[in-house]
Amino acid sequence: MSAAHIEPFRVRAGVGEIEDLRARLRATRWPDAPEDAGWSLGVDLGYLRELVTYWAEEFDWPAQEAALARLPRFRSRGLAFLHQRAAGPVLPLVLCHGWPDSSWRYEKVLPLLTDPGAHGADPADVFDVVVPDMPGFGHSDRPRGAPLDSIAVAGLFAELMTVLGYDRFGVAGGDIGSSVSRFLALDHPDRVVAVHRMEASMPVDLGAADLTAEERAWLDTAAAWKSGEGAYADLHRTKPQTAAVGLTDSPAGLAAWVVEKLRSWSDCDGDVEKSFTRDEILTLLTRYWLTGTIGSSMRMYAANAAIPADQHARKVEVPSGFARFPGDTLHPPRAWLERTANVVRLTDLERGGHFAPYEEPELYARELREFFRPYRGTGDQRIGLPPVTGTTAPEM
């Protein structure tokens, strides 16, 4: 086995980057919009203008950098990741994000999982938590060649857990992270003790002739959702580089592309700032801007579209749990989930949407604690953990 270097890192803007960002925001060339269009044709230009003005004139990036520095961030083999260890016997847990986000999705939930006793929960429900940025997202390296699909990313995450000294672990995810979680359980069932997913990703043709009426109704609902909301995914899948030019050059354009989804997919009753503060939205956007990863994050859709159909039909035998949040995009029925997973838990939550770990961190943490409780075993799941500050660790 060779050696993998694990080093801490901080999220920092380079010299002049924030001033360049502010200058671009102030110089935005705005499109026209029909009177009273609101959000009906995409982003509400009135709201976006206010957000861009705040981003340019008032948003305090240094304060956000200081807050981000309080979380334990590391890099190894091109992957950036959060890694919070806890005291006592733990269950290691990998959290897998989606689009249009990064490890940002789980930053609020991290302390709730690694120190449950300090947040009114059972101290025995403690996790060591690893939250990687997928390649091409956040602060991880962008793939140099073809974009990676969920199968390849799952393999990288399994290798990362070996590097960090974890033999067996739990997995949870949503959006693209749901697919990555699924393939971790499919391809590494000897290591994944259980897998929790927020949804089953977009439906695919499983060639099943025995669909229930509830399943057929759900497929009709999913098709209607795709027709009304799914144009972004078709563009990501087919022509991501075309959109990437404008979104990488214009921070206002980047904000429009991402904020419209934050609003549409969250449990916010049409007001995005009921789910996210302006500073939270702009911290996500500024990180996208500084890393230049909007294009590489979109390209993963093209890679996933090429996954063979037989991979989607494989059944996850690892114990699987699913959480349905009311504001999420799609709510597959249990019968559909049971076609490709060993479903042991299906929970309908009272609040939250597609970004539930960020919108409702307490509810999401409670759901994970309860789901993984039977799979903890009797001892510490960590094996020979190396130190993590400027050191080396075993590499696959």
Task: Classify residue 365: in a domain, yes or no.
Answer: yes
CATH number at residue 367: 3.40.50.1820
Rounded Cα gap, residues 1 and 52, in angstroms = 49
* Position 375 pLDDT exceeds 60: yes
Query: How high is the pLDDT of residue 378?
Result: 37
Local confidence band at 87 (pLDDT 50, 70, 90 cut-offs): confident
Tens of pLDDT, residues 312-355: 989 999 999 999 999 999 899 999 999 989 999 999 999 999 99
139 is catalytic: no
Both tokens of residue 302? 């093209």
Q: What is the mean pLDDT of residues 168-189?
A: 97
Residues 6+ apart with CB under 8 A from 267: 275, 325, 326, 327, 328, 351, 352, 353, 356, 359, 360
Task: Classify residue 317: in a domain, yes or no.
Answer: yes
Measured from the Cβ of residue 351, the count of other Cβ atoms closer than 10 Å reads 14
Domain count, the chain: 1
Tens of pLDDT, residues 282-306: 999 999 999 999 999 999 999 999 9
Query: How high is the pLDDT of residue 202?
Result: 58
Task: Classify residue 126: in a domain, yes or no.
Answer: yes
Query: How high is the pLDDT of residue 207?
Result: 63
* Position 40 pLDDT exceeds 50: yes
* Position 381 pLDDT exceeds 90: no
Task: Classify residue 34: in a domain, yes or no.
Answer: no
Query: How high is the pLDDT of residue 200?
Result: 65
Query: How high is the pLDDT of residue 201?
Result: 60
Rounded Cα gap, residues 351 and 276, in angstroms = 14
54 is catalytic: no
Rounded Cα gap, residues 371 and 369, in angstroms = 6
Local confidence band at 4 (pLDDT 50, 70, 90 cut-offs): confident
Structural domain of 343: 2-25+40-395
Task: Classify residue 30: in a domain, yes or no.
Answer: no
* Position 2 pLDDT exceeds 70: no
Residues 6+ apart with CB under 8 A from 203: 218, 219, 222, 330, 332, 336
Tens of pLDDT, residues 96-125: 999 999 999 999 999 999 999 999 999 999
Task: Classify residue 33: in a domain, yes or no.
Answer: no
DSSP secondary structure, 58-79, as one string: T--HHHHHHHHTTS-EEEETTE
312 is catalytic: no
* Position 91 pLDDT exceeds 80: yes
- What's the whole-number average pLDDT of the chain? 92
Catalytic-labelled residue, pool 101, 175, 267, 328: 175
Task: Classify residue 56: in a domain, yes or no.
Answer: yes
Both tokens of residue 50? 């206010």
Local confidence band at 377 (pLDDT 50, 70, 90 cut-offs): confident
pTM summary value: 0.93
Catalytic-labelled residue, pool 301, 328, 358, 364: 301
